[in-house]
Amino acid sequence: MIDRVAGATATTDEAPLALAQAISLSALPTGRIIQGDCIAAMRALPAASVDLIFADPPYNLQLGGELSRPDGSHVDAVTDHWDKFDSLAAYDAFTRAWLAEAKRLLKPGGAIWVIGSYHNIFKVGAAIQDLGYWILNDIVWRKANPMPNFKGTRFTNAHETLIWASTGEKAKYTFNYRSMKTLNDELQMRSDWEFPICGGAERLKKDGHKVHPTQKPEALLYRILLACTKPGDVVLDPFFGTGTTGAVAKRLGRRWIGIEREGVYIAAAEERIAAALPLDESALTTMQSPKAAPKVAFGTLVETGYLEPGTVLIDARRRFSATVRADGSLASACGQAGSIHKLGATLQGAPACNGWTFWHHEAQGTLQPIDTIRQTYLLATQP
Amino acid sequence: MIDRVAGATATTDEAPLALAQAISLSALPTGRIIQGDCIAAMRALPAASVDLIFADPPYNLQLGGELSRPDGSHVDAVTDHWDKFDSLAAYDAFTRAWLAEAKRLLKPGGAIWVIGSYHNIFKVGAAIQDLGYWILNDIVWRKANPMPNFKGTRFTNAHETLIWASTGEKAKYTFNYRSMKTLNDELQMRSDWEFPICGGAERLKKDGHKVHPTQKPEALLYRILLACTKPGDVVLDPFFGTGTTGAVAKRLGRRWIGIEREGVYIAAAEERIAAALPLDESALTTMQSPKAAPKVAFGTLVETGYLEPGTVLIDARRRFSATVRADGSLASACGQAGSIHKLGATLQGAPACNGWTFWHHEAQGTLQPIDTIRQTYLLATQP
DNA sequence: AGCGAATCTGAATCGGGGT
DNA sequence: AACCCCGATTCAGATTCGC
């Protein structure tokens, strides 16, 4: 077991504490992973003793059969027993039970973060409101590299949702506004965050297989703890898994408590946290996500009215022409159709073509490449 | 009142309809705004008569006092009476009531879209699941230019959430996959969409003041209707406001029905929709999935001489080869035989295989998938 | 060693029509 | 209702392989 300085030792020298609070702090098993059911484990902890709770509960995915990629390979889905519930109602009851225990553990000025997907997040959010928490923001984690929708049946599921809530409508809470603004190049931090999914060296593996099917990226926890806790605060994670919350808390000098049922995850988490190093300056700078050049799809110009469906485009030498259609595809007179790039390539018999510079439109008597419209759009919408 | 061709007039010349369906269509007030309470108005409409519902219900914002910008100017917040509910429970009851009526109106293959913010979307999503809808995606509208958080107390609220759901777990639904992929420069459309908020010339104003506090951008509706409806489909908006749904539906050649209580909004919507110009037929034609193309059996290519019996096919990596037989089956050297799909799967030991892209033939010194022969056949035989 | 090609993988409610 | 067959369908990033 890992053990960091217990709360009592660190605080008894300071300002006097109420007896109950002193007992609470002395009993608080920070720097430890408690093995067992999260509701039972939370019941054993003292009330009003935790500053922040981060929870990544089971999503209750309810997947159908097997799924294969177009190349025939098999998709390794989340089929673990801990994600199985008998019914929507059973999941709902479980959700309300652990959220109620969590509320009891939070100090009056504490707060909770919960992450989920559309499978469960609406149930979670509704329960949070019903239990008297006060939602402060919902945050969208935009995945830089999500798994595609292999069957072409829906939109690519490219994000997850987090809810940040205080203990009540009038409750205080911690929000390090300046830290967030600094982290975001002196612009207010928005409610949509982009991070890659957890992979590479950060992804815990054993015998070549991932230890946990849903390990979260440390960057996500880093931003949350930096935004909503102070050094020394106690962070509880009731679904600890492989300990991302503990590792990041240690790096940032926050105390932590983990609750986890599965021994395999606990073993991996302990090893991982033991190896975690306190933050140095360079780690902070790597957190600053480089601002990617904004991409604009041709279809966006059609949707937003910068270019009307029905507009006729021609190439610079006026050899080919095509009409813009409602979905951002182009149709030529000879019946061929495709994206600006594909149709340009087809008509020229070329393997590829940059449609942005190939296609032009008539404007003030001159031919303008459609790329100028994209520049206009970017100027109008970028801060 | 605006009125487009009613369903009955347009369909009586065609194939006979069941009586109930004929009544439904004749009674359907498409191209109209019904004034009144949305639940009462929906009750008066026939069951299973609508292809898509788009709903932008009151968000139940629960704002505190007045809000000022750092420069002292006043923020014009949503304080309208229609956004006031007595309690969370009252809002919940209202949400479940209109969502239940909406479900009754949807055809079995229909779908619903609802937009909201963290104030209400969790209640809405939980109700959608409880009522037996099946969530297909949650979509994040990332605002390119959101209002900043003036007090510096939270993250900038820079997105809203939409839920897309079918009428049940096993229900069919419309999703124009190819159109979405084309619209997004040949990449799958993701669940996070970026649009500017509604402003400029698009924003309806009267005497210098915005007519509606939460007018949605047409680009948002454009993408939804393009993705989830076909031309001629009936789209219902039970919280019509200033008619963004109607204006975009008219442009895209979809029929529409609006329900709205406030006369001021109705007047603005009617004027706006009357001015909207429908796209012409050629612009409305969109990219189709191969699914929608006429099917060609492999045997047809053999019968019609596009491929000679006895031709040897091989896979791209030249690991397997097989001979085309007179009945359109393939036979491998090791004695196995079957359809192009089945033999491909058997030889690879895979559960399934698309023979059209797996098998190749030698042409002009290069390997060509046999799908190119099918394309040649289609070009030659389709009008 | 270094570069380009090929391979692998990630919280996924992932098909439709005929017999 | 269950089974069978046809055949449509993937993006970004990390890692490994091959030259």
Mean pLDDT of B261-273: 98
Q: Does A153 touch chain B (CB under 8 A)?
A: yes
Give per-residue pLDDT as tens, A305-357: 889 889 999 999 999 999 999 898 999 988 888 889 889 888 887 767 888 98
Contact A382, A294 (CB under 8 A): yes
Q: Is A125 on the interface with B (CB under 8 A)?
A: yes
Q: By mean pLDDT, which of A12-26, A185-199, B7-21 is the weakest? A: B7-21
Domains in chain A: boundaries:
28-288, 294-381
Q: In chain A, pLDDT over 70 holds for what percent of residues?
A: 88
Q: What angle do CA A178, A181, A185 make, to 5 degrees?
A: 140
Task: Tell me the three state secondary structure of residue B203.
Answer: coil
Which pLDDT does position A161 carry in this prediction? 98
Q: Cα-atom radius of gyration of chain B, to the nearest Å?
A: 27
Q: Give me the mean pLDDT over the A109-137 stretch.
A: 98
Question: Which residue on chain B is closest to A150 by alpha carbon?
Answer: B188
State yes or no: pLDDT of A25 exceeds 80: no
pLDDT, tens only, A220-251:
999 999 999 999 999 999 999 999 999 999 99
Contacts of residue A113 in chain B, CB cutoff 8 Å?
none
Read off the pLDDT of each residue in A111-117 and give the average, rounded to a whole number: 98
pLDDT at A12 over 80: no
Burial A225-247 (b: 16+ CB within 10 A, else e): bbbbbeeebbbbbbbbbbbbbbb
Proximity of residue A231 CB to strand D below 7 A: no
Q: Is B197 on the interface with A (CB under 8 A)?
A: no
Q: Closest Cα to residue A193, out of A246, A244, A142? A: A142
- Beta carbons of B142 and A192 less than 8 Å apart: yes
DSSP characters over A34-78: EES-HHHHHHTSPTT-EEEEEE---------S--B-TTSPBP---
One-letter amino acid of A286: T
Termini Cα distance of chain A? 49
Residue B375 banded pLDDT, cuts 50, 70, 90: confident
The structure tokens listed for A317 are: 């030498």
Q: Is the pTM of this model over 0.85?
A: yes
Q: For residue B277, what are its two tokens?
A: 């110009």
For residue B376, name the pLDDT band (cuts at 50, 70, 90): confident
Return the pLDDT at B15. 32
> Closest Cα to residue A217, out of A236, A235, A203?
A203
Share of chain A above pLDDT 90, in %: 66
Q: 3-class SS at B160?
A: strand
CA dist A50 and B377 (Å) reads: 70
Residue type at position A137: N
pLDDT value at position B76? Answer: 86
One-letter amino acid of B380: A
Helix (H, G, I), strand (E, B) or coil at B120: coil
Question: Contact B131/B100 with Cβ under 8 angstroms?
Answer: yes
* DSSP 8-class letter at A261: S
- Closest by alpha carbon to A298, among A348, A346, A349, A343? A343
Which structure tokens are listed for A374? 């994209």
Q: How is residue A36 written in tokens? A: 């067992």
Rounded to the nearest angstrom, the minimum Cα separation between B23 and chain A is 33
**Superfamily of chain region A28-288:** Vaccinia Virus protein VP39 (3.40.50.150)
Residues 211-270 of chain A in contact with strand C via CB under 7 angstroms: 213-215
Q: Does residue A197 lie within 7 Å of nucleic acid chain C, judged by its CB?
A: yes
pLDDT of residue A23: 44
Res. A378: pLDDT tops 90: no
Read off the pLDDT of each residue in A95-112 and give the average, rounded to a whole number: 98
Q: Is A168 on the interface with B (CB under 8 A)?
A: no
What is the pLDDT at residue B110?
97
| pLDDT tens string B29-68 | 999 999 999 999 999 999 999 999 999 999 988 777 778 7
CA dihedral A78, A81, A83, A85 (to 10 degrees): 140
